[in-house]
Amino acid sequence: MSVVLLIGTGKGLFVARSDDSRKTWDVSEALFPMTGVYAVGVDPRGERPRLLAGVSSSHFGPSVATSDDLGVTWQEPDGPALAFPADTDTSLERVWQLTPGPADRPGRVYAGVQPSALFVSDDGGSTFELVRGLWEHPHRKDWGAGFGGQAIHTILPDPADPDRVLVAMSTGGVYRTTDGGTTWAASNSGVKAYFLPDPWPEFGQCVHKVAGSPERLYLQNHHGVYRSDDGGAAWTSIADGLPSDFGFPIVVHPHRPDTVYVFPLKADAMRFPADGKCRVYRSDDAGATWTALADGLPDTPYYPAVLRDAMCTDTADPAGIYFGTRSGEVYASADDGDTWRQVAAHLPDVLCVRAVVA
């Protein structure tokens, strides 16, 4: 089995490849050097997966590159792949998320951007159009900016219903559409915003990441870990048993919806690993209990954080689990998180990772 791991960093994209069932890895030189790669995506719906990368150049601005040969070569459009229409009087700052649509919408790709907006492509990510229904939502003027900026960083299309899509942003919270993006409703019931005068607002939560499927969703908030069993209509805390309810990433096992992974940090003021060591926490019972996973990870005092999109899984069985740190280390597990080995070290700040089984 071969696996390709895309590693987006503050200074380029690195492609790691394993051809021996994730035992050893070869890591490429930097692609798109000296650009920030804040989003990488994998579209598995074609004969061969299409890879996408949101590339941010300080000179040329943001763009979307694509690869149809598992990252060996990349194509970039001559002009901007996506841009705000002139009447919005807004400029694109960064692409934060690239997500393929459902299987019955071939070519559909969503992009979440900064400032908070959703774009959609129906040609595989070559060109995008603004989703006006969300951009014109009356809440938008009150969406704030998290420490990393105001951005849509989570897009979850419903695989069974192409008109249903969930997005999440910092800050603003979770929004859902059931009519293909024409109208959107805030969906944050049960998610606490301790930093606001009303800690239980309709919107304004600083959601860090949402993962899962409509049947079972998980949410990592700015202080708070939650689960929803009704497609995001309501959320319940599952933070008991974790050393901290603060963190950025949350990912779900590709074959077991009750298995979820987080990387807790001490607090929003510190942002160091919660126990002072590099630890992934896994729940196999939908958040009722949690177990620290440490075999193969550093056992010394450890300070780097893991960002919201710097943890992912592949689709193999047993599943590969991957994460990258702000100190440029990347770790992989080939057995659902039970044991770990280092893929790379001394890379630039890792911003995002995505894996594809070739």
pLDDT category at 273 given cuts 50, 70, 90 is very high
Averaged over 68-88, what is the pLDDT?
A: 92
- Say what the pLDDT of residue 58 is: 85
* Chain centre distance of CA 275: 24
- Say what the pLDDT of residue 114 is: 97
- What does the longest C-alpha to C-alpha distance in the chain come to? 54
Q: Is the pLDDT of residue 278 over 90?
A: yes
> pLDDT exceeding 70 applies to what percent of the chain?
100
Tell me the two tokens of residue 15.
């492609």
pLDDT category at 324 given cuts 50, 70, 90 is very high
Tell me the two tokens of residue 224.
């708070």
- Say what the pLDDT of residue 267 is: 78
What CATH number belongs to 3-357? 2.130.10.10
**Cis-peptide into 318, omega within 30 deg:** yes
Smallest CA-to-CA distance from 152 within 137, 133, 135, 167 is with 167
pLDDT category at 77 given cuts 50, 70, 90 is confident
Spans of all domains in the chain:
3-357
How many other CB atoms are there within 10 angstroms of residue 330's CB atom?
Answer: 23
Smallest CA-to-CA distance from 353 within 313, 302, 301 is with 313
Q: Is the pLDDT of residue 330 over 90?
A: yes
Q: Is the pLDDT of residue 268 over 80?
A: no
Q: Please state, in angstroms and rounded to a whole number, the distance separating the CA atoms of residues 264 and 240.
A: 12
Long-range CB contacts (within 8 A, 24+) of 186-191: 186/139, 187/232, 187/233, 188/235, 189/233, 189/234, 189/235, 190/226, 190/234, 190/235, 190/236, 190/237, 191/219, 191/221, 191/224, 191/226, 191/235
pTM, full prediction: 0.97
List pLDDT tens digits, range 172-185. Answer: 999 999 999 999 99
Averaged over 159-188, what is the pLDDT?
A: 96
pLDDT category at 80 given cuts 50, 70, 90 is confident
Tell me the two tokens of residue 63.
């763009």
CB 36, CB 351: distance < 8 Å: yes
CB 303, CB 336: distance < 8 Å: no
The radius of gyration of the chain's CA atoms, rounded to the nearest angstrom, is: 19
Hunting for tokens 């970039």 — which residue is that? 76
pLDDT category at 224 given cuts 50, 70, 90 is very high
Smallest CA-to-CA distance from 200 within 208, 190, 209, 210 is with 190
265 vs 81, more confident: 265
List pLDDT tens digits, range 293-316. Answer: 999 999 999 999 999 999 999 999
Q: Is the pLDDT of residue 69 over 90?
A: yes
List pLDDT tens digits, range 8-42. Answer: 999 999 999 999 999 999 999 999 999 999 999 99
